[in-house]
Structure 1
Amino acid sequence: MESTLYFQKLQYQESVQKRTFTKWINSHLAKRNPPMLVNDLFEDIKDGVMLIALLEVLSGQKLPCEQGRQLKRIHWVANIGTALKFLEGRRSVYRGSPIKLVNINSTDIADGRPSIVLGLVWTIILYFQIEELTSNLPQLQSLSSSASSVESVVSSETASPPSKRKVVTKVQGSARKALLKWIQYTAAKQVGIEIKDFGQSWRSGVAFHSVIHAIRPDLVDMDKVKGRSNRENLEEAFMLAETELGIPRLLDPEDVNVDKPDEKSIMTYVAQFLKYYPDLHHTVTDVQENDVSFSFIPITVLNRGSEDRLMLRDLKVWAEQFERDLARAQMAETSLQEKYQSFKHFRVQYELKRKPIELATQSLRKDGKLLLDQAIVKQAWDRVSSRLFDWHIQLDKSLPEPLGTIGAWLYRAEVVLREEVSIQQAHEETANIIHRKLEQLKVNIHAFILGTTTSKLYCKLGLSSFCYYI
C-alpha cells in the first residue's frame, strides 16, 4: 500500500514538473529566431538540438550543434555532450565554482529517462533563472553555504526500488532561501499572511496574489481574495500575472490545489516575478535573522507618481527585451546584407525610444543623482546602446575592402567621440585634453576622406557590391 502511494506521488510530481518545465522552456524558445516548440519534453530533448537552442537563448552564446533530419544517435549524444560541457563550464553565482552535474550523462538524456531529464532542466532553471535573479537582491551572498545551490546528484531513496534512479537537485539554502525571504518580506508581510515554503503555503492562491499586489496593488483586492475558493484565486492570479505583467503561465490550478504541491514547479513560476524588483541598496524594511540583514524595496513604494513608476517599469522591460532581441539577431547565421537590414531595423527602434528614455532618466534631485528606478532604466539603456554600437562596428569591419578599413577608421573616431572629457581643476589641463582629442579626430577624418574617395573610385569602376554599402 505504501509502495503504491509512493509511486502515485512520484508520477504526480513527474507529470507536474514535465508540464511546468516544458512551458518554461517554450517561453524562452519562443524568443528564438525562428522560434522552436517542445511538445513532448522527454522525446524532443533526445537529439540535443532543442537543449542547445535553449542554452543559446539563455546565455546569448552560440554553441556547435549537429542538425538535420537524418541525425543518428551518435549525433544526439554529441549534442547533449556539448550542452553538458557548456553547463559544467559555467560558475555558480553564489559559490563561484563550476556547476556540478553528477550522474547526469548524455546517454540517459538520449534515452529520454524522465528523472534524469527533469533533473537536468531543473539545474538549468536554478542556474539561469533562480540563482541569477536572487543574486541581484542586496546582501544575499552571505546566505551561500559551502556547497553550490546548483549541484545535481543522483540518490536512491529507501522506498524506491533499486532499479528506479531519481535525480535530486540539491538547493543548499542559497537560492531557495533567498527566494523565500524575498517573498516573505516584499509580499507576505505587506498583506499579513505567512508563507513558510514553496508547497502548501501556495495552495489557496492567496500567496500568488500577495506577490502581484506587491508589484501592482491596483490589480488585487486582498479582502476579496481571502474570501474566494482556492481554484478561483489560482485561476485569477495566473491570468493577471500573464495579461498584466507579461509573466508566462507555467501552472494551472489543478497543479497547485493538491495536498502537496510540487515545490520545484512553484519556485520556477514564482522566480519570474523577481525581474520586477531592481537591485536596491536603500532600506525600507530591515529584517534580521541569524545576523543576516535583508533590505528590499518594491517599485511601488518609490517616491514617484504611479504613472511615472509604470512608465519607468515599461521602459525597463522594453530595454531588457530589446537587448535580448539584439543578442539573438547578432547570433543569427545570415548574410552580411541581411545583417545590415536587421541592424537598421533595430537602429530605427532605438532612435524612437531615445528621447522618451532620456526624458525619463533626467535627475529630479538637487544633487543631480538619479532615483533608483531611473538608474535601473539608465543602466539597461546604456547596455543596449553599447551592444548596438558594438554590433555596428562589427558589421563595418566585416565589409569587403576597402570598406572594412573605413569601418575601422570610423570605429576609432567613434571611440574618441564617446570618451567623456573630465573637467580638471586647472582649465589649461582641460584645454589640453580637448586639444588632443581634436587632433585625434582630425587624423581620423583625413583617413576617412581618403578611404571614401577610394571607395567611390571602386563604384565608378563598376564594382557594385561595394556601392551597395556606401
Structure 2
Amino acid sequence: MANASPDLDNAEAQRQLNNNNRPISSGFWETECTSSKLFECSRIKALADERDAVQKKTFTKWVNSHLARVSCRISDLYNDLRDGYMLTRLLEVLSGELLPRPTRGRMRIHCLENVDKALQFLKEQRVHLENVGSHDIVDGNHRLTLGLIWTIILRFQIQVIKIETEDNRETRSAKDALLLWCQMKTAGYPEVNIQNFTTCWRDGLAFNALIHRHRPDLIEFHKLTRSNATHNLQQAFNIAEQHLGLTKLLDPEDVNTENPDEKSIITYVVSYYHYFSKMKALIVEGKRVGKVLDNCIEAEKIINRYEALASDLLDWIEKTIAVISNQKFANSLTGVQQQLQAFTTYCTIEKPIKFQEKGNLEVLLFTIQSKLRANNQKPYVPHEGKLISDINKAWERLEKAEHERGVALRKELIRQEKLELLAQRFDHKTTMRQAWLNENQRLVSQDNFGYDLPAVEAAMKKHEAIEADIASYEERIGVVVELAAEMESEGYYDIRRISARKENILGQWSLLKELVAGRRTRLEKNLSLQKTFQDMVYMIDWMEDTQVLESRRK
C-alpha cells in the first residue's frame, strides 16, 4: 500500500489539472497531497484494524471449537496463547500427536520455552513460519499471533483439501481446491456465483446453498432473496450450528460488510467442507464395506491377506527396532548429521507408510469380522502374536526405541558440534602460536650484541625482556595442550592430526626455550669479556699515567 500512495497522488494531481485547466500553485499542491496521504493512511489503518478484529474473533472461536475436545478454552487470543500451554494443546488436538510437556512456571523464560516447543513442532511438520518467533507470541504481537493461527489453519484444515475435476483430471489443492469445491457444490443455484472468499458470500446465499446441497431437508432455498442478507446469513449460521454441530465462527455483520475478511470466511467455510466430506466418506465407506460383505467367497482371501500383512508389518517392526536401537554413532559431525538425516527420513517417510498399514490392518480385521458375522460364521481369531493388541504392543516398543534413538542422536550431534568448535578453536590458536614461535625463534637466533660494554649491557636488558615475554606465553601454550587433551578425552575423530600439531607446538616451544637459554649463555660470556676489556683499558690508562708522572720526576 505504501507503493500505491505516490500513484494515487499523481492520479489526483492529473485529475485536478484536467478539471480546472489552470496551473496549481506549489503551496496548494503540497496541501492537497498531504491531505490525500493522511486520508489514505487513516482509511488503510481503519480497514486493517477492522480486519484484525474480525480475524481475532473468528480465530478465537475456531481455536475454542478444537480445544473443547480436551475441555479447554481461551478468552483472549493474544493473551491466552502467550504462555504456550494452550498453543501446545491446540497442536496436539489438531495433529493427534503428543508434544513435549510444557515447562511449569509463569516467568517469561518458561513462556518462551513452551512457545518455542510448539513452533519447533510446526517446523518438524514442514510448516513455514516466516518472521514468527517465540518472543512475538509471548509479547502478544497481534499481527504475528493472527498470522500464526492462520498458518496452523492452513496446515491442518486447508492444506489437506484436494479436489479432482471431471474434465481434465487436474488436481488442485488448498485455497483453489476449496473454492472449486464451493463452485461445484453450488452449481445450478440461482444468484449464487462464487468467485472469491469475500464479496461473493455477503448475501448469505452461498452458505445456504452449501447446506441445501447436502441437507435439503434443513433449508427452503427458493424462499431466500439476496436483499435480505442478514436473515440469510443468520439462518445459515444457526442451522449449521444446531443441526450440523459446526461452531458459529462468524456473525452476519462480519460478512455483510463492504470488505469481508477472506481468511475468516475461509476458516468458516472449510468447516463445511470437512463436515460434508466426512459425511460423504462415511456413506462411500459404508457402500464399499457392504459390497464386500455380500461376497462370502472372498472371506478366506481376506483372512490370508491379513495374516500376510500382519507378518510383514511385525517383521518390519522387529528389524527396525534392532536397527534404531543401535546406539553406535559415526565419530564425526558429518557422519552424525547423515545419520540424523536418515533417521528423519525414516520418521517422515518410511514410518508413516507403515503406520497407515497398521491402520489398514485394523480396518481389514474389522471387515473380516463383519463379513463373517453377516454370514453367521464363526468369528476369525488371528494366530498367536498377530492380534491387533500384539501389533500395538510391538508398535509401542518401536516408538520407544525411536524416541531413545532421536534423543541419543541429538545428544551426539551436540557433542560432535562442540568437538568441531573445539577443533576450530585449537587450529586457530595453534596457527597463532606457530607464528609467534617462528618469530621469536628468529629473534633469539640473532647474536647482534654489539662491540662495547654499553651495547652488550643493552642487549642483555633486551634479552631479559624477551625472556619475560616468553615466560608469560607459557600459559597460552598450556591452553593448546588443554584443548588437545579435552578433544582426546571426548574421542575426537581427527585426534591424530590434533596430537601432531600439539607435539609440533611443544617441540617448537622447547626449541625456543633452548635457544633463549643458549643466547643468554653467550650474552653472559660476551658481557664478561667486555667487562674484562674495560678493566684492561682502565689498567693501560693507569700505566700510561704512571709513566708520565715518572718521566716528569726525572
TM-score class, shorter-chain normalisation, is 0.5 to 0.7
CA deviation after TM superposition for structure 1 residue 72, in Å: 0.9
CA contact (8 A) 1:188 1:195 kept: no
Structure 2 counterpart of 1:12, one-letter code: E
Aligned counterpart, 1:73? 108
Mapping for residues 170-319 of structure 1, pairs under 5 Å: 174-191=173-190, 193-226=192-225, 229-278=228-277, 299=280
Asked if 1:58 corresponds to 2:57, the answer is no
Structure 2 counterpart of 1:271, one-letter code: V
Aligned counterpart, 1:363? 291
Aligned counterpart, 2:145? 117
CA deviation after TM superposition for structure 1 residue 191, in Å: 4.6
Mapping for residues 344-359 of structure 1, pairs under 5 Å: none
Q: Distance in 2 between matches of 1:276 and 1:47?
A: 32
Aligned counterpart, 1:379? none
Structure 2 counterpart of 1:135, one-letter code: K
Mapping for residues 442-457 of structure 1, pairs under 5 Å: none
CA deviation after TM superposition for structure 1 residue 229, in Å: 1.0
CA deviation after TM superposition for structure 1 residue 129, in Å: 0.6
CA deviation after TM superposition for structure 1 residue 109, in Å: 0.8
Greater alpha carbon shift after TM alignment, 59-68 vs 198-207: 59-68
Q: Distance in 1 between matches of 2:212 and 2:262?
A: 22
Q: Distance in 2 between matches of 1:248 and 1:41?
A: 17
Q: What TM-score do the two structures reach when normalised by structure 2?
A: 0.45
Deviations 1:251-309 (A, max 9, x none): 00111110010000000000011124448xxxxxxxxxxxxxxxxxx95xxxxxxxxx9
Asked if 1:135 corresponds to 2:63, the answer is no
Structure 2 counterpart of 1:17, one-letter code: Q
Aligned counterpart, 1:85? 120
Aligned to 1:266, the other structure's residue is in SS state: helix
Q: Distance in 2 between matches of 1:130 and 1:419?
A: 30
Q: Distance in 1 between matches of 2:202 and 2:366?
A: 55
Q: Residues 229, 364 of structure 1: CA spacing in aligned structure 2 closer, same or farther, 3 A cutoff?
A: farther
Identity %: 39
Aligned counterpart, 2:77? 41
Q: Distance in 2 between matches of 1:127 and 1:265?
A: 15
Aligned counterpart, 1:22? 60
Length, aligned pairs only: 276
Q: Distance in 1 between matches of 2:95 and 2:130?
A: 22
Structure 1 counterpart of 2:245, one-letter code: G
Q: Residues 89, 228 of structure 1: CA spacing in aligned structure 2 closer, same or farther, 3 A cutoff?
A: same
CA deviation after TM superposition for structure 1 residue 223, in Å: 1.9
Aligned counterpart, 2:547? none
Q: Distance in 2 between matches of 1:365 and 1:420?
A: 8
Structure 1 counterpart of 2:102, one-letter code: E
CA contact (8 A) 1:215 1:276 kept: no
CA deviation after TM superposition for structure 1 residue 110, in Å: 0.7
Q: Residues 266, 368 of structure 1: CA spacing in aligned structure 2 closer, same or farther, 3 A cutoff?
A: farther
CA deviation after TM superposition for structure 1 residue 186, in Å: 1.3
Asked if 1:103 corresponds to 2:131, the answer is yes
Aligned counterpart, 1:12? 50
Q: Distance in 1 between matches of 2:249 and 2:177?
A: 21
Q: Distance in 2 between matches of 1:419 and 1:267?
A: 37
CA deviation after TM superposition for structure 1 residue 66, in Å: 2.6
CA deviation after TM superposition for structure 1 residue 221, in Å: 1.6
CA contact (8 A) 1:230 1:257 kept: yes
More relative contact order, 1 or 2 (CA 8 Å, 6+ apart): 1
Q: Residues 67, 36 of structure 1: CA spacing in aligned structure 2 closer, same or farther, 3 A cutoff?
A: farther
Aligned counterpart, 1:459? none
Q: Residues 223, 76 of structure 1: CA spacing in aligned structure 2 closer, same or farther, 3 A cutoff?
A: same
Structure 2 counterpart of 1:80, one-letter code: V
Q: Residues 367, 197 of structure 1: CA spacing in aligned structure 2 closer, same or farther, 3 A cutoff?
A: farther
Q: What TM-score do the two structures reach when normalised by structure 1?
A: 0.52
Deviations 1:313-368 (A, max 9, x none): 6x99xxxxxxxxxxxxxxxxxxxxxxxxxxxxxxxxxxxxxxxx8x9953399779
